[in-house]
Amino acid sequence: MIIAIDGPAAAGKGTLARRLAEHFGFAYLDTGSLYRAVGLAVLRAGKSPTDVVAATEISVDLDRRLFSDPDLRAERTGNAASAVAAIPEVRYNLLEFQRKFARTPPDDKKGAVLDGRDVGTVVCPDADLKLFVTAGPHVRARRRFLEIEGRGEAADFEEILTDVRARDERDMNRADAPLKPAEDALLLDTSELDIDAVFLRAVALVEERLKPQ
């Protein structure tokens, strides 16, 4: 079983995907971390995230150690990820890894949950369940703000809101695999619903699909 969860930054899709994977014993892939790893490596190489040649070269042979790098989750890395993700060559180089993970999940798991921006539309168009998790920009910026403050770091709400909007703009308007719900995706708006309610709704949807037809 393949579950595709897409949506904009800070909509709650990562938390939902992780909880679903844990609940059903499925493998979990945060596809954003692949783009983040490319973005981080580009920054560390002293290059611009819009440098097509540098980003493409790095994405061919991605250093796996970057997935556990403490800077992977930084805002700066997220913005660099969004920029390298607009490069078609980078997307192409990361595609097969994601498809393989979905088709043959590690540790012989019986299913995979992938979250990102184009899982339901491009990576796994045949996924058994597609969810599009979203929330208004203010709600998402507020979540980011609380998360950063929670880590004991300084946070500026207006700056975060500007960042969230810029990232939406870039992710939704790029030519290759833009962020958008697949036609057969179910929309879950987390502006009003809390994560437990969203999780229970998603569990019910998965169980429905697991039932023998």
User: How many residues belong to the site for ligand DC (CB under 6 A)?
Assistant: 15
d(CA 156, CA 10): 16
Q: Is 12 in the site for ligand DC (CB under 6 A)?
A: no
Q: Is 7 in the site for ligand DC (CB under 6 A)?
A: no
Which of residues 2, 3, 5, 9 is near ligand DC by CB under 6 A? 9
Instruction: Please say which residue, 97 or 157, places its beta carbon nearer to ligand DC.
Output: 97
| 27, β-bridge pairs | 112
Binding mask 95-134 for ligand DC (x = CB under 6 A): ---------------------xxxx---------------
CA dihedral of residues 142, 118, 99, 56 (deg, nearest 10): -90
Instruction: Please say which residue, 68 or 213, places its beta carbon nearer to ligand DC.
Output: 68
Footprint of ligand DC on 133-172 (CB under 6 A): 167, 171
Contacts of residue 164, defined as CB under 8 A and 6 or more positions apart, other chains included, come to: 8, 9, 10, 137, 140, 141, 144
Angstrom distances, CA of residue 209 to CA of 34, 202, 212: 28, 11, 8
Q: What 8-state DSSP symbol labels residue 120?
A: I
Footprint of ligand DC on 42-61 (CB under 6 A): none
d(CA 41, CA 55): 8
Contacts of residue 200, defined as CB under 8 A and 6 or more positions apart, other chains included, come to: none
Instruction: Please say which residue, 57 or 118, places its beta carbon nearer to ligand DC.
Output: 118
Instruction: Please say which residue, 184 or 212, places its beta carbon nearer to ligand DC.
Output: 184
Binding site for ligand DC (CB under 6 A): 9, 31-32, 35-36, 78, 81-82, 85, 116-119, 167, 171
